[in-house]
Amino acid sequence: MREHNGKALAQTAYAYVGDARCNMGNSLLLAGALMGMDVRIGAPKELWPDDSVITRAHELAERSGARIPAHRQPAAGRCRRRFHPHRCLGQHG
């Protein structure tokens, strides 16, 4: 992501739109929280990661300064995000 936007990771935002219960959704949420990024999950509540994953992401975010707002509507999650991992990694929720 740094290669494509030239910004520090802490200034980078991305969205995962789709079924975030899978390992890809969990990994992107935790990795972004660990690196201090702005991570958006756009999915209905029933497709969010497990509560234990969300709790861990918020714990990591407190230390790293990451921002992890939750969005129930997919369009809200990807609003103005430059990176949409579900597209470039073949995830189709």
Higher pLDDT pick, 87 / 16:
16
Question: 13-39: buried (b, 16+ CB within 10 Å) or exposed (e) per residue?
Answer: bbbbbbbbbeebbbebbbbbbbbbbbb
pLDDT band at 72 (very low <50, low <70, confident <90, very high): low
pLDDT mean over 50-54:
93
Structure tokens at 30: 């935790």
Cβ contact 12:40 at 8 Å = no
The closest of 40, 47, 46 to 20, measured between CA atoms, is 47
pLDDT tens profile 17-41: 888 898 999 999 999 999 999 988 8
Grade residue 42 by pLDDT with cuts at 50, 70 and 90.
confident
pLDDT score recorded for residue 91 = 39
Per-residue pLDDT, 31: 94
Confidence of residue 77 (pLDDT cuts 50, 70, 90): very low
